[in-house]
Chain A
Amino acid sequence: MKTITAYKCNKCGLVMYPYHDRCLNCKGRDFKEIAPTSKGKLLTYTVIEQLPWGMDERGRVLGVVEFDNGVKALGLIKDDAPRIGMKLKVNWEPVREMGGEEIFGLTFVKTK
């Protein structure tokens, strides 16, 4: 499955996403590219009723997920009753249309 690329500092081990040119902890410049694991838990979320121009929908749930390997990322939560701490499984799907093009990103559904 396609997904995001996160970065693990070769010197201190800090996991980062998105990309930084130097480690946020130790200033190191060497990273190992890592993929998030398939599952994670929801850290916080919101339900957006007023979306930006070009997105004609309501009730879009966005949340921050911490994957089992420590990567943290924002994504689209496909669940009507989100709650903090719920276990989620990740997918890579269109999240938005921009300039007639489908943009792919992280989406999540409930799992055990």
Chain B
Amino acid sequence: MRPVVVAGVGMIPFERRDEDSLMDMLATAGLNAMDDAGLGDRPIDSVYVGNMASGLFNHQVSVASALVDRLSLLPAAADRVENGPASGGSAIKNGFLAVASGFNDVVLVVGGEKMREVIGPKATDIVACMTHPQAEYIYGVTLPAMAGMFARLYMEKYGVTREHLSMVAIKNQTNGLLNPYAHIQMKITMEGILSHPQSHINSPVVADPIHLYDCCPVSDGAAAVLLTTEEIANKLKKPLVTIDGIGQATDTHTLQERSDPTDLKAVTLASEQAFKMAGIKPKDIDVAELHDAFTILEIAESEHAGFFPKGEGAKALERGETQIGGKLPINPSGGLKARGHPVGATGVAQVVELVWQLRGEAGERQVKGAANGFSLNFGGFGNNVLAFVLRRKS
């Protein structure tokens, strides 16, 4: 396989975007990545679109074909990649393979979702469609409910408290204030979301023990990366950031069939693969973007990915090690918690943030001197997980 460079990145701010269609968002993010790379009018061989549910949210399918038409990239190959909340990560993996294998030289990967076209409970239902139709869905299970059942066990086993969960929310929303692309731009305090007698009004129960401020918002948004070879990237204008490692692993569809439901095996395996391929270790990582769709997941993933031993993630958080300026800043972008989680966009947005960080272009939230980055895109409830290691080329 030949090295693959992320030569261009682009996003649009994640928020509620009533004025934009899904295609408007995908097209703008795609153009931003092309322009960031300085691609000009050079041709693109192939386009991958990460999107979970445009048919259900927006009554439109075949969105990759529609996107190449909008961007005048005809006759480029075009595929939509659907892998639940890991659709963006899967789209990047496909783009990577196309370039690494020599099949394509220039590939555009765009992830996007327009979720706010439907009302909140309808979005909850659409997202719940990834659960098992007979064994889970019919009972009214939601993704926050899966997180609730997981969190109850994880908290008991490892001594994680609601205070720890709130620390994740506070850290990520603080980081989000430094990210102009983040959906949630609001400072929160421990008193406001947890310790004050009235805090349950601000942060009501969604699926006990998961409260409102433990959940990512429902967002519209898109993000894009332009992947190419070192040879072509050297002719473009940006410092080289390469995808050095990718891992992917799956686990049982339902939580109850895992011998230990607190063990996120797919996270461990995907991360190990990505580190092995990159030839570096978790301790070499300078900045990580984890899939904190629920606060408990940032803690659990930070352990399963190999950054901390099991049970130590919450302690590292407590010590401030995962803040910007700490030993391993996690989610300097604000994560899903603050940046938002337009499902198909997330895996791509994580890689966009890493590229900004590794180039030194992350502005106020820059992790100083970051050279090695890691991202984790968590699909289903941990039944399909992708991990990425990105490095700045010196």
Contact = CB atoms under 8 A, between A and B. Distances in A.
A and B are partners in one complex rather than unrelated chains: yes
Interface of A: 4, 16-18, 24, 43-55, 60, 62-64, 72-76, 84, 95-96, 98, 103, 105
Contact of B261 (A17, A44, A96): A44
A76 to B, nearest CB: 6
20 contacts: A17-B256, A18-B134, A18-B254, A46-B148, A46-B210, A48-B141, A48-B206, A48-B207, A50-B144, A50-B206, A52-B128, A53-B121, A54-B125, A62-B140, A62-B141, A64-B261, A72-B256, A74-B141, A95-B140, A103-B138
A50 B257 contact: no
A18 B204 CA distance: 33
Interface string B244-274: 0000000011111100010000000000000
A74 B148 CA distance: 13
Interface string B106-130: 0000000000000111101100100
B277 interface: no
Contact of B135 (A18, A44, A55): A18
Nearest to A76: B139
B229 interface: no
A20 to B, nearest CB: 9
Contacts of B150: 44
B124 A50 contact: yes
Given A63-B149, A74-B135, A16 B121 contact: no
A52 B140 contact: yes
A73 B138 contact: no
Contact of A52 (B142, B153, B256): B142
B208 interface: yes
Contacts of A103: 138
Contacts of B210: 46
B2 interface: no
Contacts of A72: 256-257
A18 B132 contact: yes
Contacts of B232: none
B156 interface: yes
Nearest to B156: A84
A49 to B, nearest CB: 5
Contacts of B128: 52
A56 B139 CA distance: 13
Nearest to B152: A44
A99 to B, nearest CB: 12
Given A46-B207, A73-B135, A105-B138, 20 more contacts: A17-B135, A18-B254, A44-B149, A44-B153, A46-B145, A47-B148, A47-B208, A48-B144, A49-B206, A50-B124, A52-B128, A53-B121, A62-B141, A62-B145, A72-B256, A72-B257, A75-B139, A95-B140, A96-B140, A98-B138
B2 to A, nearest CB: 36
